[in-house]
Chains A and B, each alone.
Chain A
Amino acid sequence: MAGPETVELARAAARGGADVIEIGFPFSDPLADGPVVRRAAERALAAGMRTEACLDCLREVHDQVAVPLVPMTYASLLEAYGWERFATDVREAGAASLIVADLPVDAHPDLRRIQLVAPTSTDERVGLAAEQTDGWLYLVTVAGTTGTRSELSPALAPLVARARKLTDVPLYAGFGISTPEQAGAAGELADGIVVGSAALLAAEEGSAALERFVAQLREALA
């Protein structure tokens, strides 16, 4: 989540071996997020992290960390800032792409972004999302919001199998992946994994803890 500590945390995540870093632009009512990300957004908003401040934060991270950066946010921020202007400014600030959690593939098709598909998505929608997506396809492993789970979702394997038949784009799995064991298991299926809530929890312990956590994930994927 964008904030005063983001540069330090992003450096730590990169040292730990992250290939891509997602940076949350907080929204007051994040429907796709569970309690960990929601609380992080509440703290960021209370600290004044509005869109301009988030763009500054992104720019600063981009200056100091060589890893591709992907802001994740909600449609209301783009609506207020202007859709095209947001797309332009976020890339100028160093974003490699963009994720909008409440924007299904058929809404605002002109906005180039990483598309998400879920276990509930039809083949037709998986195909459309793969065609439209910017670089890689985000596989939501579970019907649910972001947050840690005790087990890797059994829905991931069939979703990967369906997506492989429809597309050659890289598939990164996220939502509910929180331990190195789950990361390893998901990494057997998908081409990459996305860890959000568990990384935020590690980051609450400081940058050294985040670096150790990311390194464990990295090792599990090796």
Chain B
Amino acid sequence: MTTSMYGAYGGRYVPETLIPALDELERGWAEALADPSFREELDQLGERYVGRPTPLYEAERFAPDGRRIVLKREDLNHTGAHKINNALGQILLASRLGKRRIVAETGAGQHGVATATVCARFGLECVVYMGAEDMRRQHPNVERMRLLGAEVRAVEFGTRTLKEATSEAIRDWIASVETTYYLIGSCVGPAPYPAIVRELQAVIGREARRQMLGTYDRLPDVVVACVGGGSNAIGLFAGFLDDDVRLVGVEAAGAASLGSGRGAVLHGARSSVLVDDDGQILDAHSISAGLDYPGVGPEHAALRDSGRATYVTATDEEALAAFHRLAETEGILPALEPAHALARALDIDAELVLVGLSGRGDKDLAEVLEH
């Protein structure tokens, strides 16, 4: 049985129409996990198509004096972010379930690009919902998705960002559930999605743990990752949950679902969400489209409550400063999302810090130059 509740969080808060599809998904996922050929195909595509394993790289010039910062280079994956790990796994699952049409939401566009990519690879129809504001901020990714054969549908209401794009993708799925697979991009949504995404991203943490032991003969003192919906963080944390390693998630200061949110229901699950006193969802604000989301994966809310992970914030300015510092000291342009993790990693007082560099910054150039 796939995990559906994380403490008081998770569950399925969706219209009845979707429940049978979620049951089908849960069964299909359990069968896939039990089938060695599924894992084999995923691992093989991970190696030959995505470029796994991604390296660990020690950012010696980026790190402050006397401390060591090691980057897990998910930015070197095909399509430039960790999102492909999840998209690839779910597209294999969709194929097993016989679905020929894929819908997805995207914020920064990285998940949309990853989804469009695997749909091209497997010859499936692809529709991506994206907020009109995000289409402006992340224009290169819109063009990329279109070149890959996806249809990008602009969402023109509400905040015109990831929150509304996700709602529209779910509405599409409600209306097309017999033929369509909803390929969610983060560890959010109704069960079993958070568990599926976590498992598909856990490759990051498992690899990183092995590589740390291989290269440094020890585990890091602290593992740091940015948190929007939280998929790269949960994937990286997954490798170290049972170790004596501090886990730190970094949210955007204007989108701190874990830092400032409370228990609420958004996009099919109960989690920690930015809401007002009446349960209405508040607008998040971040320079980074990928973190600009008022909700977060339910497992993160449970990890916060249990104290196993701590969650802090970084401002737009701090993320931009870290972006420039990594570019100038290491010759690596990070995406603005992991730039938040880099910003906090600089002031963590620990000898050896592992940071999830979840994506590359090419998509953010216009936004960075504007500031």
**A-to-B contact residues, CB < 8 Å:** 27-29, 31-32, 34, 38-39, 42, 45, 50-52, 74-81, 101-105, 107, 115-122, 125, 129, 140, 142-145
Min CB distance B108 to A, Å, is 20
**B-to-A contact residues, CB < 8 Å:** 11-21, 157-158, 163-164, 167, 170-171, 174-178, 263-268, 270, 273, 275-281
Query: Do residues A76 and B280 form an inter-chain contact, with CB atoms below 8 A?
Result: yes
| Residues in A whose Cβ lies below 8 Å from that of B164 | 29
Task: Give the complex CA separation of A22 and B83 in angstroms.
Answer: 42
Min CB distance A87 to B, Å, is 15
Query: Do residues A104 and B16 form an inter-chain contact, with CB atoms below 8 A?
Result: yes
| Residues in A whose Cβ lies below 8 Å from that of B276 | 50, 80
| Residues in B whose Cβ lies below 8 Å from that of A76 | 264-266, 273, 275, 279-281
- A interface, by DSSP: helix, strand, loop or mixed? loop
Query: Do residues B16 and A143 form an inter-chain contact, with CB atoms below 8 A?
Result: no
| Residues in B whose Cβ lies below 8 Å from that of A102 | 13-15, 265, 268
Query: Do residues B267 and A143 form an inter-chain contact, with CB atoms below 8 A?
Result: no
| Residues in A whose Cβ lies below 8 Å from that of B21 | 120
Query: Do residues A31 and B278 form an inter-chain contact, with CB atoms below 8 A?
Result: no
Query: Do residues B268 and A122 form an inter-chain contact, with CB atoms below 8 A?
Result: no
| Residues in B whose Cβ lies below 8 Å from that of A81 | 278-279
Query: Do residues B170 and A31 form an inter-chain contact, with CB atoms below 8 A?
Result: yes
Query: Do residues B12 and A107 form an inter-chain contact, with CB atoms below 8 A?
Result: yes
Chain B residue with the shortest CB-CB distance to A115: B16
Min CB distance A151 to B, Å, is 15
Query: Do residues B16 and A27 form an inter-chain contact, with CB atoms below 8 A?
Result: no
Query: Do residues B263 and A116 form an inter-chain contact, with CB atoms below 8 A?
Result: no
Choose among B17, B263, B275, B280 the residue that contacts A143 (Cβ–Cβ < 8 A). B17
| Residues in B whose Cβ lies below 8 Å from that of A51 | 278-279
Assuming A50-B280, A76-B264, is B19 touching A29 (CB within 8 A)? no
Task: Give the complex CA separation of A95 and B253 in angstroms.
Answer: 41
